[in-house]
Amino acid sequence: MTQRFIEFVMMQAQQAAMFLGRIPNPQTGKPEVNLPVARMFIDQLEMVREKTRGNLSAEETEILTRVLADLQLAFVQSSGGESAPELNEEEASEPAAPEAAQAPAAEAKAEAPAAPVEEESKKKFTKSYGS
């Protein structure tokens, strides 16, 4: 089962990498950037990590953690200057930087008061890649 889990994680990671423009689309042979779809695959892997916490072997945990860190960094680099529909203002305005440097700034900005509609939106759709 460990091998199947790792294969699953790697397939999800390949899909995310393809939509981050890191792997050419097999149908067109050209890199394709689709940040909302890439974000969906990254969020799915994050969900798997949260739902399986404490139930994975050390090898599975290490691979999942490493893959997520790589994809999150690639996402930040790919989204530098671009604004995806799902990104809130704080995420869209952040410069491309290593994940560790970005997490405290994003958390600090998230505490700032916002309009009620934006607050509701943030509660449902904002995703922080910090651990």
Domain ranges of the chain: 2-122
Higher-scoring residue by pLDDT: 7, 93: 7
How much is the mean pLDDT over the chain?
A: 73
Higher-scoring residue by pLDDT: 109, 4: 4
Note whether 55 and 68 are within 8 A (CB). Answer: no
Place of tokens 């390949």: 14
For residue 8, what are its two tokens? 């699953």
Higher-scoring residue by pLDDT: 80, 94: 80
Which residues in 46-60 are b (16+ Cβ under 10 Å) and which e?
Answer: bebbeeeeeebeeeb
State residue 25's pLDDT score: 86
Range with lowest mean pLDDT among 45-54, 92-101, 108-117 = 92-101
State residue 20's pLDDT score: 93
C-alpha distances in Å from residue 27, one per residue of 8, 24, 30, 31, 70: 21, 9, 8, 10, 24
State residue 2's pLDDT score: 87
Higher-scoring residue by pLDDT: 82, 101: 82
46-77 per-position pLDDT tens digit: 999 999 999 999 999 999 999 999 999 999 99
Query: If you compute the radius of gyration of the chain from its CA atoms, what whole number of angstroms results?
Result: 16
Taking the model in full, what pTM does it have? Answer: 0.59
For residue 75, what are its two tokens? 């996402």
Distance CA(103)–CA(121), nearest Å, equals 20
What SS3 class is residue 33?
strand
The answer, yes or no, to whether residue 83 has pLDDT greater than 90, is no
The answer, yes or no, to whether residue 36 has pLDDT greater than 90, is yes
